[in-house]
Amino acid sequence: MKSHLLPDFIVERLEDRCNRCGVCVKQCPWGVYSWNDDKTDILIDYTKCVGCQRCVVYCPNNALIVKPYYGSYRPNAYWTKEVISDIKKQAEQGGVLLVGTGSDRPYKVYFDHILLNASQVTNPSIDPLREPMELRTFLGRKPDQLEIEIRDDDIEIKTELYPNLVVETPILFAGMSYGAISKNAFLALAMASKEFGTLFCTGEGGLPKDMREEYGPVAIVQCASGRFGVDPEYLNCAAAIEIKIGQGAKPGIGGHLPGEKVTAEISATRMIPEGTDALSPAPHHDIYSIEDLSMLIYALKEATNYEKPVFVKIAAVHNVAAIASGIVRAGADVIVIDGFRGGTGASPKVMRDHVGIPIEMAIAAVDQRLREEGIRHKCSIIASGGIRCSADVVKAIALGADAVYIGTAALIALGCTMCQKCYTGKCAWGICTQDPNLAKRLNPKEGAKRLVNLLRAWSLEIKDMLGGMGINAIESLRGNREHLRGIGLEDWELRVLGIKGAGE
Amino acid sequence: MIKPRDDKDFQACGLFGVMDRSGERFNGKMVVEAMKNMHVRGNGLGGGFAVYGLYPEYKDYYCLHVMIQDWNEDAKREVDKFLDANFDIVHDEEIPTNEDANVVNPPLFWRYFVYPQKKGDDKRLSDDDYVIKKVMYINTKIKDAYVISSGKNMGVFKGVGFPEDIAEFFMVEKYKGYIWTAHSRFPTNTPGWWGGAHPFCILDWTVVHNGEISSYGTNKRYLEMFGYYCTLQTDTEVMAYAFDLLMRRQKLPIEIVAKILAPPMWDIIDHMDEKRKKLYTTLRMVYAPLLINGPWTVIVAHHGEMFGLTDRIRLRPITAGEKGDLLFLSSEESAIRAVCPNLDRVWTPHGGEPVIGRLNEKALKKVVE
């Protein structure tokens, strides 16, 4: 069938710069560039271009420009090019439209409608270059109070404590499975976590045996609906266990890793036959209600001798506050809330773009509900899904989160350019692929260095913002909505966020 | 009368506290003189005094100092009715004031000596918790009525004016106590709100505070989980509730509480021996929402004890002095020397290090029992 689709991108070659070296042919996995028959010229088929910019960055002569295809249909504010193209694609293929990464729709970004406070005159700002500025964060359940026994010079804590995790910055790496991403990308996340003093989540693809000893202590191992790679050693080698109920990019549905990506090593790690599809059911088939979740939480705690905090990750959906309250009562130590901007390696476009609620609203609602019920200290909250910069981190924490997960931002640090083609397995940057030729493009050591740099840069910026507010420890920002003001928000939005408007 | 516009206020202040650790009571002359010496630390928008050992003749009864804004007769009637229904009122009277004092628009002040009459579910509460519950009711539910102190054998006198004017208005030099704390206020807003003056009081706990708490939102929302609702719209209220929660309800000593409100830096904790490291780490982990951040100094008192504490990096001043049984705490050394020139000892405590004055044992028996 002849395709009616317009191209997405166009490639412009600066002929006076190009010397036909052929790097572009080698770098592009999409088949845009090819040699002519006698290898004297390079042909360009820009209709195949996804805009990943790999060729542009690696062209030694800076001879390439990749830009959005500017030809379009008659302008129409309702029947946009995207709408028309989607219909044409479905008419040609008859299937669900697949996409990668978080939603790109122009919904209101609440982070961009919140401004931060700073000290002037009545209290001093604190200079992070001269004074300590503390970002250390504890994740896990806290007791109602401490009972302390003092005998002469000896002080003893009588209260039994729950296991907590320590991170040196309130930024952790979100679950991205080995399988969805390459071993090198996975390894880079693990190495960076270890170096910086934070944690990474394995996602649902297990943790390769050869990584357990070294990176288990900085891993949050996931137990998802497919139960891939879950065994006692996996659970016990980790810092914490995360039960994944939902994902912001596709709330309410499961996952599907195509058999082509299930290589020998992935097959061993996930404990499924090589080359078979790895299907994660939409629900956990042993969790049809909250009491079932509680049983799984305690089964995992039993299996790990009550030494590890158990996380429960849910997508931010309409009744997120009530659901979160139930999860705390079910025994979770940490709740991860994944907003509708959360990333994915593959999701039906319709789910990604139309299901869920913004993370800012979800965090504010959950934090407020747990406080009203007097159980906020019984769990930590991790905000996930669409955290783009250090200011987003600060705003999420001031709204009520203990820490954040970053996924997309971490992948961008590794090279990702948000071309949204993760589901094809042809990632030109070696991140979202199992093709050994592509995966080797990502050097885990260099990747880890980029990730550590990102964490350091954001942490420095967070310290600047804290110091400006006259705060020298991150815990004094948590839930401190006094330091936030809304701009361009309606009354109901301010009310849900629990913040005042600018100038109020 | 103008109520404050913001959730919290922004201020710098002068603080003074003096305690006779032998339990000997003395009149308010000394503390007023000291506050006069620090006149410039206030701007005439708030002054107040807390006195311990104030009402020995009624020492077994809670004494409620109630402020009736705008002399609202309905509010007074409602308070009378509410107290009558929930307490035995042993004695009540208008707090005597001096009409010639230099203050503007003073509200009505009334004091009630009461004994709890618990009914129904309230029977499960301790006397103290019962009183707190009823005080919270008056403060939040009865318009124009505010309980400004609620302890036994103690009381708070405060209002809008320089401390010396407030002293004259309430004639505090006629009262005697073994602990006096005082406050002079320099708010940048909230003019004319008598309830916003210090000391702030719940039961027999009083706080005078100099500072602006940058962790206010975090602290406030944590305390709300334990039933404390900030109604007076000052940072100081947060301080007072934090002390009440940690010291009275959770029974932690001030030495530990100081390390919760103003903990050492992680860098220091990480270099401690294992046992102390574990203690300090656990305190910070569990009580992170009660770290009081930003610049502050407090002088806190309750029966038998007065202490001073600053924030962890000491962004607001405090000086301590001793002369025999007398312990002084002050924003400025000059104020101490103005009333006691020949001190045995004078020192500046480190940030987060409490200076603690306690009654000696003999005195403790005399005063508390």
The ipTM (two decimal places) reads: 0.92
Residue B94 near chain A (CB below 8 Å) = no
Peptide bond just before B199 cis, omega within 30 deg: yes
Are B252 and B345 found together in one domain? yes
B79 phi and psi, to 5 degrees? -65, -45
Q: Do B278 and A138 touch (CB under 8 A)?
A: no
Q: Are A202 and A223 in contact (CB under 8 A)?
A: no
Segment A257-294, tens digit of pLDDT:
888 889 999 999 999 999 999 999 999 999 999 999 99
Residue B240 lies in a domain: yes
Whether residues B144 and B113 share a domain: the answer is yes
Question: How far is it, in rounded angstroms, from Cα A66 to Cα A58?
Answer: 13
State the pLDDT at residue B230.
Answer: 74
Degrees to nearest 5, angle at CA A174 with A168 and A180? 140
Contact B218 A479 (CB under 8 A): yes
Q: State whether B289 and A150 contact (CB < 8 Å).
A: no
In a shared domain, residues B25 and B69: no
pTM of the entire structure? 0.93
CB contact under 8 A, B217 and A479: yes
Spell B211-226 as b/e; 16+ CB within 10 A means b. Answer: bbbbbbbbbbbbbbbe
Of A320, A351, A353, nearest to A253 (Cα)?
Answer: A351
Whole-angstrom distance, CA of residue B209 vs CA of residue A101: 51
Structural domain contains residue B297:
yes
Q: How far apart are CA A3 and CA B254, in angstroms?
A: 77
**Portion of chain A with pLDDT greater than 70, in percent:** 100
- In one-letter notation, the amino acid at residue B205 is W
Per-residue pLDDT for B4 more than 80? no
A397 → chain B, closest CA residue: B218
Q: Are residues B277 and B209 in the same domain?
A: yes
Does position A403 have pLDDT exceeding 90, yes or no? yes
* Domains held by chain B: number: 2
Is position B282 within any domain?
A: yes
* pLDDT at residue number B195: 81
Q: Which residue from A minimizes the CA distance to B11?
A: A122
Looking at the fold, whether B267 and B361 belong to one and the same domain comes out as yes
Instruction: Please indicate, yes or no, whether residues B210 and B275 belong to a single structural domain of this protein.
Output: yes
Chain A contacts to B (CB-CB under 8 A): 119, 121-124, 126, 131-132, 134, 136, 138, 142-143, 145-148, 150, 155, 157, 161, 164, 371, 374, 376-377, 398, 469-473, 475-483
**Stretch B15-42: mean pLDDT:** 95
For B297-313, the pLDDT digits (tens) are 999 999 999 999 999 99
Are residues A124 and B315, on separate chains, in Cβ contact within 8 Å? yes
- At B348, which CATH number? 3.60.20.10
The strand pairing partners of B66, in sequence order, are: B110, B147
Q: How confident is the model at residue B233 (pLDDT cuts 50, 70, 90)?
A: low
Domains of chain A: 9-95 (3.30.70.20), 138-145+178-475 (3.20.20.70)
Confidence bin at A492 (pLDDT 50/70/90):
very high
- The two tokens of residue B220 are 């406030």
Which token pair is B146? 């505010």
Tell me: do B45 and B126 sit in the same domain.
Answer: no
Question: Hey, is the C-beta of B86 within 8 angstroms of any chain A C-beta?
Answer: no
* Minimal C-alpha gap between A327 and chain B (Å): 19
Instruction: Tell me how crowded residue A218 is: count the other CB atoms within 10 A of its CB.
Output: 24
Residues B79 and B111 in one domain: yes
pLDDT at A12: 97
Residue B79's domain is classified under what CATH number? 3.30.70.260
Residue B209 lies inside a defined structural domain of this protein? yes
Residue B185: predicted pLDDT: 86
Q: Same domain, yes or no, for B123 and B92?
A: yes
Q: Are residues B199 and B348 located together in one domain of the fold?
A: yes
CB A187 within 8 A of CB A211: yes
Helices B274-286, B254-261: inter-axial angle, 10-degree rounding? 70
CB A191 within 8 A of CB A185: no
Contact status of B274 with chain A (Cβ, < 8 Å): no
User: Could you give the CA distance from residue A274 to residue A260 in angstroms, rounded to a whole number?
Assistant: 9
Mean local confidence (pLDDT), A469-494: 97
Residues of B in contact with A148 (CB under 8 A): 252, 256
Confidence band (pLDDT; 50, 70, 90) for B11? low
Give domain status of residue B2, yes or no. no
- Does residue B163 belong to any structural domain of this protein? no
Residue B289 at interface with chain A, using a CB cutoff of 8 Å: yes
Distance between CA A172 and CA A282 in Å, rounded? 25
pLDDT of residue A440: 97
User: Which residues in chain A touch residue B279, judged by CB atoms under 8 angstroms apart?
Assistant: 155, 157
Give me the helix-helix angle, B73-86 and B127-141, nearest 10°.
160
Question: Which of A143, A470, A479 is the closest to B294 by Cβ?
Answer: A470
B321 and B333 in a single domain? The answer is yes
Query: Is B158 within the bounds of a domain?
Result: no
Give me the active site residues of B, please: 13
B161 found inside a domain: no
Whether residue B249 is found in the same domain as residue B268: yes
Q: Which residues of chain B from 126 to 185 reach within 8 Å of chain A, CB to CB?
A: none
User: Which residue segment(s) compose the domain that B97 sits in?
Assistant: 55-152
Res B364: pLDDT: 67
Quick check: B292 pLDDT over 50? yes
Of B212, B221, B286, the CB nearest to A146: B286
pLDDT reported for residue B3 = 46
Contact B135, B64 (CB under 8 A): yes
